[in-house]
Amino acid sequence: MKISRDDVNRIAKLARLSLGDAEADAMTKQLDAILEYVVQLQTLDTNGVEPTAQVGDRATPMREDVPAPSLTQEEALCNAPKSAGGGFVVPKTVDVGN
């Protein structure tokens, strides 16, 4: 086994996915099969080879720092499931004790 059910639960938590039991079982089997396939990369000699993260012309170019119109506050909020007072509304993040 390349990956265990515990591993899957751990990465699901990191990825903010709440998987059901049956789903976690199925994912474990499928991810294991994929990792069994992917492991063949270990047979490739990459000693001293530079990694490629990006292809294309050049490193991120800089542009002039000039102000320009962007989305309005109204446009930015128009798709929010909940908004109020010009901001996004989310459930409380901190329990205030005592």
Residues near other proteins (CB under 8 A) are 3, 7-8, 11-12, 14-19, 23, 26-27, 30-31, 33-35, 37-38, 40-42, 44, 46, 49-57, 60-61, 63, 71, 75-76, 78-82, 88, 90-93
Cα torsion 68, 74, 76, 78 to 10°: value is -150
Q: Between residues 43 and 98, which has the closer beta carbon with respect to other proteins?
A: 43
Amino acid at 48: G
How far apart are the C-alpha atoms of 30 and 26, rounded to whole Å?
6
- The tokens describing 56, both together, are 């294309």
Q: Between residues 93 and 98, which has the closer beta carbon with respect to other proteins?
A: 93
